C-alpha cells in the first residue's frame, strides 16, 4: 500500500467525518475536509465557495442507510444524486477535478464473476438507484467514479467494528454465509484514492477493493481469529435468517482489472488489510 504520492495543488474531501473521509485526512492531513455540518453539498453557493481552480475533490459524502432509504427516497437521492451533481457542476465551472466514490449496489448483485466497470447496471434497492443516479450525473460533467464495496475501519458502526463488539459481548454470533464480496479496508481505499488524485489520465470509471473474496461469515471468522478468539463461536446462516427492507446483493465482487491496467497500485489481499486494520485499532 503506497502512501507517498505527490499531492495535488489542493485536495478537498467531502464526507470527511465518515469512515473513509477520516482515513483520507489521516493520510493527507493538509487536505481541506468538510463534513455534513460544515458543508451542504446540495447548496451550490456553499460548494462554490470552497472549490478553487486546479483542486481535486474526493467526494465520500453519501446516504448509506441502505434499509432506511427504502422509505426515505428523497433523502437518499438528495445526498447520493443531487449533491454529487452539484459538486460536479461546481468543479467543472471552477476548473477543478472530482473523484466520486460509488458502490457495488449499482449492480443487480446476481452475477457469478467479478463486475467490470462497463458491465450493465441494475440496482435492486433505492440506495443503489440513488447512487447510480449520482454516477450518471457526475460522469456527464467529466468526473471520475470509483466503485467500492464492503468498506470498514473497525472503529465504529461498520461490520468489523460490530464483530469486535459482539466478540466481547456474546458467546456466539450468527452471520450470513451466502453473500460474497471483497472486504475493503478504509485505509487501503483512502490510499488508493490519493494515488488516483495524482492521475487525471486514469479511466473515468474504476473499481477499487481489497483483492480476494469472502462471505460475511468468512469475514467474521477472520475478525475473531485476529482477536485471538475461537472462530468456532461464529455460526453460519443464510440471508433468510435476517430479512431486511432492502435486499442485499448475493454477489458484490468488483473486478480490479481496469484499475490495475491503468498502472495504479493493486490493492492487497483483504486478509492482510484486515490484520493491519485490527492492529491499528487495538494500539
Q: Where are the alpha helices (DSSP H) in 10-78?
A: 19-27, 44-48, 66-69, 73-77
Short-list 132, 179, 134, 131, CA closest to 159? 179
Q: Is residue 240 part of a domain?
A: yes
Domain of 240, CATH number, reads 3.40.50.720
Give the model's pLDDT for residue 53: 96
Give the model's pLDDT for residue 157: 87
Q: Are 18 and 65 in contact (CB under 8 A)?
A: no
Cα distance between residue 237 and residue 208, in whole Å: 28
Give the model's pLDDT for residue 6: 52
Q: Is residue 2 part of a domain?
A: no
Residues with active-site annotation:
127
Q: Is residue 4 part of a domain?
A: no
Give the model's pLDDT for residue 9: 63
Q: Is residue 1 part of a domain?
A: no
Number of domains composing the chain: 1
Q: Is residue 6 part of a domain?
A: no
pTM for this entry: 0.95
Measured from the Cβ of residue 248, the count of other Cβ atoms closer than 10 Å reads: 19
Grid coordinates 473486478 are at which residue? 255
Give the model's pLDDT for residue 1: 47
Q: Tell me which DSSP letter residue 2 carries.
A: -
Domain span holding position 156: 11-282
Cα distance between residue 157 and residue 168, in whole Å: 15
Per-run averaged pLDDT (10 residues), the chain, 283 residues: 56 97 96 96 98 97 97 98 98 98 98 97 98 98 98 94 97 98 98 97 98 98 98 97 95 98 98 97 84
Amino acid at each position: 500500500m503506497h502512501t507517498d504520492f505527490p499531492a495535488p495543488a489542493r485536495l478537498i474531501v467531502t464526507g470527511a467525518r465518515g469512515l473513509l473521509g477520516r482515513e483520507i485526512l489521516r493520510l493527507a492531513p493538509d487536505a481541506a475536509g468538510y463534513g455534513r455540518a460544515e458543508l451542504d453539498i446540495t447548496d451550490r453557493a456553499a460548494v462554490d465557495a470552497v472549490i478553487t481552480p486546479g483542486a481535486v475533490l474526493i467526494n465520500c459524502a453519501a446516504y448509506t442507510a441502505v434499509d432506511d432509504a427504502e422509505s426515505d427516497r428523497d433523502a437518499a437521492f438528495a445526498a447520493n444524486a443531487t449533491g454529487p451533481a452539484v459538486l460536479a457542476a461546481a468543479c467543472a465551472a471552477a476548473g477543478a477535478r472530482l473523484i466520486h466514490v460509488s458502490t457495488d449496489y449499482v449492480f443487480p448483485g446476481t452475477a457469478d464473476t467479478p463486475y467490470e466497470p462497463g458491465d450493465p447496471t441494475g440496482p435492486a434497492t433505492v440506495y443503489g438507484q440513488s447512487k447510480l443516479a449520482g454516477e450518471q450525473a457526475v460522469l456527464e460533467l467529466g468526473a471520475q467514479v470509483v466503485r467500492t464495496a464492503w468498506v470498514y475501519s473497525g472503529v465504529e458502526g461498520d461490520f468489523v467494528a460490530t464483530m469486535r463488539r459482539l466478540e466481547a459481548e456474546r458467546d456466539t454470533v450468527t452471520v450470513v454465509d451466502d453473500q460474497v464480496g471483497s472486504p475493503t479496508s478504509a485505509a487501503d481505499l483512502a490510499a488508493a484514492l490519493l494515488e488516483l488524485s495524482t492521475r487525471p489520465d486514469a479511466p473515468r470509471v474504476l473499481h477499487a477493493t481489497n483483492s480476494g473474496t469472502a462471505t460475511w461469515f468468512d469475514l467474521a471468522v477472520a475478525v475473531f481469529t485476529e482477536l485471538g478468539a475461537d472462530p468456532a463461536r461464529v455460526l453460519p446462516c443464510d440471508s433468510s435468517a435476517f430479512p431486511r427492507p432492502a435486499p442485499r446483493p448475493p454477489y458484490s465482487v468488483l473486478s480490479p482489472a481496469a484499475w490495475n491496467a491503468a498502472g495504479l497500485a493493486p490493492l492487497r489481499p483483504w486478509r492482510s488489510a484486515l490484520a493491519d486494520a485490527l492492529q491499528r485499532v487495538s494500539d
